[in-house]
């Protein structure tokens, strides 16, 4: 009976998952993300098969470890992964926890990512080199795929538990920031802590990790070592069972735990509307665990990103930890009103509250990130000993703080994305609704917008030294004042429409209007625009901004994968300028394509299209 119930539940959930996937493909924006991600995944899977065909087992086992790492950390950067079927949807059904978790696991296998990973794991058959090893490779790759998916689900569940505790949210933010910084600066740690035998050392560690047990089984079958073969396969089975049981237990906690409110330790004592709004916003940053998580993540990312090169004795990036944290903080706070959700009605129903609310959000942002990033900048610049960096960083930092404080409110008003209300969040706090792709798109755009606000101050500091500091302060104040004024006026004029959007989301007619202009464009142009928006950061930041920082701070030793630093003399600046222009052009082309498509979309006839 239990087996039959599990089978029927799994079958039903798979059908629901596939139906939801077909529905997602009807949305142009989500379809473009799915197609782009699928294409990139296929390229990576093909590269894995090509490496397997070369017969280098040491490289292959490291690549498989990267695949498993991607399954574990990927959902942490993508809003908790794909939770089309949330466990909360089935709490009223008489399903045992293990039956529900097994059904959700099987449904999770019915997706694009598992299929792509399955293609990559076919590399175990490619390297088998014999009939016996090929036969063993089939169950090995299936068990390996099962462990990949289970590790992803379990990581999200554990992460969700951490985010429900204040200390856990801080720990999760630190881990998250370290992983993201490692993807960009991990080369320094690898060079420092791995000896000349890089491949051999990493391969040994990768074979010990669960991601390498499938390959270990195939290699053992090729040698005729049946004891090691059985141990590797049994290890995968035991690991899968343990992870499934742990995930089931966390699902029970997620769907049955109750959260009781706490009596405020200190009541609001403000006497003016501005003071009350500021106190409310400051408490949001200190009490809302997602707010706190994002704040710690932004600051920790700036620190990790600039501290990792210390492993090879490189101190020239230390002064830029504070500015990097501000840029990341601005991008993470780009949807403040969307995060509030329907709570915005309290502001809307209070006459004259829009302007104080906007200014309070700006002041709270500056109070949260201003002192901390200034302290980080001063201490690390002093530690680095790079005296030429002082006028640069002290010019850039106030410009970035003011620009970010202005842009976060303007962006969250003009480009608000509906998310799940705080009191309706699921047991997975990472998942904030059905618009994760749109939210991530705004984050990427804000990274560029916030970074560009320091351009005038940086140029003046480069040519006139300390005169860049007053320019940075002035530009920061102007950006804070102007964008805040624009946001407040927008709320006064379109506040009810914003509340309707946050409460009900976009109507079918609005969705159709949003995509009608894109549908009219040639497919190649839509694909190219999505590609430019997704990959414009590669030439702009790693190939232009970072090499420019290296040259400005006097670092002439580190070359890594920065193309410009392999050139001679003035050609370095030429390559930096070309890469920067390429990145900005990609963003401009993608952004203008989507903007013009929306402008060309029909107005009232959009309802006809939706029907």
Look up residue 10 and give its two tokens: 């799994």
25-30 CB contacts, 8 Å cutoff, 24+ apart: 27/511, 27/515, 28/514, 28/515, 28/518, 28/519, 28/526, 29/437, 29/438, 29/514, 29/515, 30/437
Measured distance CA(15)–CA(216) in Å, rounded: 35
pTM of the model: 0.69
Is the CB of residue 311 less than 8 Å from the CB of residue 188?
A: yes
| DSSP string for residues in 490-556 | HHHHHHHHHHHHHHH---HHHHHHHHHHHHTS-HHHHHHHHHHHHHTHHHHIIIIIHHHHHHHTT--
Domain end point (choices 459, 489, 505): 505
Number of CB atoms found within 10 A of residue 606's CB: 21
Look up residue 588 and give its two tokens: 């401009």
301-354 confidence digits (pLDDT tens) = 999 988 888 877 778 888 999 999 999 999 988 888 888 878 888 888 888 888
CA distance readout (Å), 77 to 157, 159, 332, 404, 430: 14, 12, 12, 21, 9
Are 525 and 490 in a shared domain? no
pLDDT of amino acid 409 = 92
Measured distance CA(133)–CA(362) in Å, rounded: 62
Are 284 and 371 in a shared domain? yes
Are 203 and 342 in a shared domain? no
Look up residue 169 and give its two tokens: 């949210």
31-40, 252-261, 412-421, 467-476: least confidently modelled range: 252-261
Domain end point (choices 212, 229, 255): 255
Residue 470: pLDDT over 90: yes
Is the CB of residue 400 less than 8 Å from the CB of residue 461?
A: no
pLDDT of amino acid 555 = 62
Are 492 and 437 in a shared domain? yes
Helix, strand, coil share of the chain (percent; to 5): 80, 0, 20
pLDDT of amino acid 380 = 93
Look up residue 537 and give its two tokens: 């950061």
Are 76 and 191 in a shared domain? yes
Are 498 and 369 in a shared domain? yes
Look over the chain and give the mean of its residue pLDDT values, rounded to a whole number. Answer: 80
Instruction: Say what percent of the chain tops pLDDT 90.
Output: 22
Are 500 and 525 in a shared domain? no
**Stretch 518-527: mean pLDDT:** 71
pLDDT of amino acid 508 = 58
Number of CB atoms found within 10 A of residue 276's CB: 17
Measured distance CA(303)–CA(280) in Å, rounded: 28
Number of CB atoms found within 10 A of residue 500's CB: 14
Looking at per-residue pLDDT, the higher value among 275 and 81 belongs to 275
Are 68 and 167 in a shared domain? yes
Is the CB of residue 410 less than 8 Å from the CB of residue 330?
A: no
Are 499 and 511 in a shared domain? no
Cα torsion at 193, 196, 201, 202 (round to 10°)? 70
Are 552 and 581 in a shared domain? yes
Q: For residue 191, what pLDDT band results from cuts at 50, 70 and 90?
A: low
pLDDT of amino acid 606 = 38
Domain end point (choices 455, 481, 505): 505
547-606 confidence digits (pLDDT tens) = 887 777 666 666 666 777 777 777 888 888 898 889 888 888 887 887 777 666 555 343
Distance, CA of 90 to chain centre: 28
Measured distance CA(470)–CA(180) in Å, rounded: 33
Are 480 and 578 in a shared domain? no
Looking at per-residue pLDDT, the higher value among 250 and 504 belongs to 250
Are 278 and 424 in a shared domain? yes
Domain count, the chain: 3
209-237 confidence digits (pLDDT tens) = 898 899 999 988 888 888 988 999 999 99
- DSSP assignment letter at 453: T
Task: Tell me which residue range forms the domain holding 449.
Answer: 273-505
**Stretch 437-451: mean pLDDT:** 79
């Amino acid at each position: 009976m239990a087996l039959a119930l599990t089978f029927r539940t799994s079958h039903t959930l798979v059908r629901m998952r596939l139906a939801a996937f077909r529905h997602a493909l009807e949305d142009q924006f989500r379809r473009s993300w799915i197609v782009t991600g699928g294409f990139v995944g296929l390229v990576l899977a093909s590269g894995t098969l090509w490496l397997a065909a070369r017969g280098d087992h040491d490289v292959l086992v490291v690549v498989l470890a990267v695949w498993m790492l991607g399954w574990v950390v990927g959902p942490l950067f993508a809003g908790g992964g794909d939770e089309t079927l949330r466990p909360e949807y089935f709490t009223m059904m008489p399903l045992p926890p293990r039956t529900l978790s097994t059904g959700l696991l099987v449904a999770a296998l019915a997706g694009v990512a598992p299929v792509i990973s399955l293609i990559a794991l076919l590399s175990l058959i490619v390297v088998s080199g014999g009939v016996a090893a090929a036969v063993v490779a089939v169950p090995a790759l299936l068990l390996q795929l099962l462990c990949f998916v289970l590790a992803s689900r379990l990581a999200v569940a554990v992460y969700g538990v951490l985010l429900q505790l204040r200390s856990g949210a801080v720990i999760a933010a630190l881990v998250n920031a370290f992983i993201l910084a490692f993807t960009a600066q991990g080369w320094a740690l690898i060079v420092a802590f791995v000896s000349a035998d890089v491949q051999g050392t990493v391969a040994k560690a990768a074979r010990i990790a669960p991601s390498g047990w499938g390959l270990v089984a195939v290699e053992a079958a090729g040698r005729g070592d049946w004891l090691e073969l059985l141990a590797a396969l049994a290890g995968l089975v035991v690991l899968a069972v343990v992870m499934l049981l742990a995930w089931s237990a966390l699902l029970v906690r997620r769907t049955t735990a109750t959260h009781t409110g706490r009596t405020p330790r200190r009541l609001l004592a403000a006497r003016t509307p501005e003071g009350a709004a500021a106190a409310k916003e400051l408490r949001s940053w200190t009490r809302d665990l997602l707010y706190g998580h994002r704040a710690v993540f932004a600051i920790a990312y700036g620190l990790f990103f600039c501290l990792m090169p210390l492993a090879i004795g490189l101190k020239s990036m230390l002064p830029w930890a504070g500015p990097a944290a501000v840029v990341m903080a601005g991008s993470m706070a780009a949807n403040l009103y969307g995060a509030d959700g329907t709570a915005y009605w309290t502001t809307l129903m209070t006459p004259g509250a829009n302007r104080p609310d906007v200014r309070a959000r700006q002041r709270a942002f500056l109070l949260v990130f201003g002192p901390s990033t200034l302290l980080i900048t001063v201490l690390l610049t002093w530690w680095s000993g790079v005296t030429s960096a002082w006028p640069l960083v002290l010019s850039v930092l106030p410009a970035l703080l003011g620009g970010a404080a202005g842009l976060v409110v303007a962006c969250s008003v003009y480009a608000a994305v509906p998310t799940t209300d705080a009191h309706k969040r699921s047991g997975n706090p990472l998942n904030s609704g059905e618009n994760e792709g749109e939210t991530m798109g705004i984050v990427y755009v804000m990274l560029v917008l916030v970074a560009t606000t320091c351009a005038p101050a940086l140029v003046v500091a480069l040519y006139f030294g300390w005169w860049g500091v007053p320019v940075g302060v002035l530009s920061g104040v102007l950006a804070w004042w102007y964008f805040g004024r624009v946001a407040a006026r927008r709320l006064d004029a379109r506040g009810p429409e914003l509340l309707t959007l946050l409460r009900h989301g976009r109507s079918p007619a609005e969705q159709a209007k949003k995509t009608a202009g894109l549908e009219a464009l040639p497919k190649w142009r839509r694909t190219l625009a999505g590609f430019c928006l997704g990959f414009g950061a590669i030439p702009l930041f790693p190939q232009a901004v970072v090499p420019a920082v290296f040259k400005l701070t006097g670092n002439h030793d580190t070359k890594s994968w920065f193309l410009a630093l392999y050139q001679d003399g003035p050609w370095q600046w030429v390559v930096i300028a070309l890469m920067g222009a390429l990145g900005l052009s990609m963003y401009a082309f993608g952004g203008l394509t989507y903007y013009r498509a929306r402008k060309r979309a029909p107005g009232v006839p959009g309802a006809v299209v939706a029907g």
